[in-house]
Amino acid sequence: MRIRTTGVVAAFAMALALAGCGTSDEPAETSTDAAGGKLVIWADDKRTEALKPFAEKFGAENGVTVEVQAVSKDLQTNFVTASQQGAGPDVVVGAHDWIGNMVQNGAIDPVQLTAEQKAGFNETAIAATSYNGQLYGVPYAMENLALIRNTELAPEAPKTIEDLVATGKKLKADGKVSEILCLQVGDKGDAYHIYPFYTSGGGYLFGTGADGGYDPSDLGVGKPESVEAFSKIAKLGEKGEGALKRSISDTNSISTFAGGKCAFLISGPWATADAKKAEISYDISNIPGFADGEAARPFIGAQAFYVASKGANKALAQEFVTNYTTSTEVAVALYNAEARPPALTAALDQVKGADPDLAKFQAAGAEGDPLPAIPEMAAIWDPFGKAEAAIVGGADVKGAVDAAAKTIADQIK
């Protein structure tokens, strides 16, 4: 579904004593003298390697020990579970849509950035990492999907999904590609990647309230609009055009494109490294929508640093997150580890001149939807994805959508 955490297995159980801490809305301490002078950070493998030099520098400057540990999978789940057991880290690094679930489980504290610090970040990134009027994460990167096109096979960007399919089918008939489109579906579906097509078809996940935030009481899955959207998606599936296939998954969509076996890939900034390595000539543009539909709107997400509410050294954690990860040096290093557009404006300005892909991804996400960070979003991923996979495989659309809607509604009651 979304960006997955991978890497070496972390030392999961750590004997961390709970620090005496106030409520989550109290101002964070800035002194680093408390709780034994040790900071533990959990991240995925790419972030871990990029952060280690800065962690060592922070430790040396503050006279403390800093450990950056990689978690192999299910980082959010492992963090929340460890937090409840008093055995978690002080800082965790992950996606912004975790926030609602982590706050609901009392796993993270608000972070205390000054107005001047906040002004240095992309406004959407700050909005994405805020919840119930409080900032809960320091964002370091932005991300959204776009259409990545092999320009040797498809010189022109398709204006509509229908144009894309027609070009892909012709290339396949001519023996130049083996797939019409590389959009990961897999056996369990992928709500994140199919969302732009779903929105173009008129579907929505949650309505919005008077404050502009997502309203979990207005569930779009199961509404006529969602059935209509999935009906359009079904026509692209295995019993239709064959553009969407369960055999294209998170394990092979990018490699299939990088191998020149499809002209079109719908993916994010993380996909370009493989294309460059394979010396594929590519361009990046907006994901096209259906000819008679709405614009295809990808999710807009942010990656961020969070302070664990039950960490052993919350003062150190606040100091590291608010006054260290906000530096241009750290943001650029994380960008170099994986080329997602930096959320810090100064860092983006520093790297975008050498990487034209950044501006193209930003343009492709200009009209996107913020990835919901409300706790109820956790109920969407699995049922929605399974409905997608079934429909792509030829299942009855209304039956699959209704089943997903019931499962989701039962979970968010």
pLDDT, one tens digit per residue, over 203-216 is 999 999 887 889 99
pLDDT of residue 1: 31
pTM of this prediction exceeds 0.75: yes
Q: If we measure between CA atoms, which residue out of 169, 147, 143, 173 comes closest to residue 158?
A: 147
Q: Mind listing the domains of the chain with CATH numbers?
A: 38-143+300-363 (3.40.190.10), 146-297+380-412 (3.40.190.10)
Joined tokens for residue 146: 């776009």
Q: Is the CB of residue 121 less than 8 Å from the CB of residue 331?
A: no
Q: If we measure between CA atoms, which residue out of 61, 98, 48 comes closest to residue 77?
A: 98
Name the E strands within 96-136: 108-109, 130-131, 134-135
Cα-flanking dihedrals φ and ψ of residue 160, to 5°?
-135, 165
* Average pLDDT along the chain: 90
Q: If we measure between CA atoms, which residue out of 175, 176, 173, 195 comes closest to residue 184?
A: 195
pLDDT, one tens digit per residue, over 36-80 is 589 999 999 889 999 999 999 999 999 999 999 999 788 999 999
Please give the single-letter amino acid code of residue 127: A
pLDDT, one tens digit per residue, over 129-161 is 999 889 999 999 999 999 999 999 999 999 999
Percentage of the chain lying above the pLDDT 90 cut: 84
Q: Residue 403: left (phi > 0), alpha (psi -120 to 50), or beta?
A: alpha
Joined tokens for residue 284: 């990046």
